[in-house]
Amino acid sequence: MSDKLRGKVAIVTGASSGIGEAAARALAAEGAHVVVAARRAERLAALVSDIEESGGTALAVPTDVTKRESVEALVRQTLDAFGRLDILVNNAGIMPLSLIRKLHVEEWDRMIDVNIKGVLYCIAACLPSMLDQGGGGGHIVNVSSVAGRRPFPGGTIYSATKFAVRAISQGIHLELSAKDRIRVVDIEPGVVATELTDHITDEDIATRFETTWADKTRLRASDVSEAILFAVTQPDRVNVNEILVRPTDQET
């Protein structure tokens, strides 16, 4: 346990696995009170136990970011438990890649719902208390992707959602940074070893992805949580706005 974030309160969405889980552990290890959100309640409960056993403070709030009332309840429970909100890690996301000509329109819809609307619902629910708590402002961490800088075959709609997240990050910076002390960082990971690819139903793309990465080394979730931690532990005058982090083995 260290104390760079002692007294701060953080919400982490998508904390039941991968980058979100690693981010929750990293923030808690720096002394933040961490509220972990996702749909899989058992995973969240196990994570809270782990964090508490290591001397940290955490609260599990099962949440579906595609439902506005669920996200509002998440923020309400956070404020009831800890009285303030300093950091939002807007991380929940899905990536059911497919070629456009296969018209997996339902998967396109789900990506838009989770990766864009979910991110916006979380911002809408968190921003009022960040703006109201006077002086301290708040920190929004949006997990976009290297795909938010360039599309790739099979990743067009996913990439579009991550371009949107980057635009949202840049717009928040323009509107809320200097005036309201709301800092925002866009985290743009390359390929990370997590469960994200488990939900790809287009077998051509799933096979292509696994073949391409069979002999290469992906990032670990903790490599990305280190980048998140770097951004949110800077002094108030420092606004880290964008971090692109790729595996050394990844060219584009």
Residues that bind ligand NAP (CB under 6 A): 13-20, 38-40, 63-66, 91-95, 114, 143, 145, 189, 191-192, 194-196, 221
Amino acid occupying residue 16: S
Instruction: Give phi and psi for 58, each to the nearest 5.
Output: -150, 155
Q: Are 225 and 17 in contact (CB under 8 A)?
A: no
CB of residue 232 to ligand NAP, shortest distance in Å: 16
CB of residue 134 to ligand NAP, shortest distance in Å: 30
Closer residue to ligand NAP (CB): 109 or 236 = 109
Return the active site residues.
Answer: 158
Closer residue to ligand NAP (CB): 57 or 66 = 66
Check the CA dihedral 106-97-194-141 and report its sign: negative
Angle between helices 18-29 and 221-232 (to 10 degrees): 50
The three-class DSSP label of residue 54 is coil
CB of residue 136 to ligand NAP, shortest distance in Å: 26
Q: Which tokens in the block code for residue 60?
A: 């599990």
Q: How far apart are the first and last CA of the chain?
A: 36
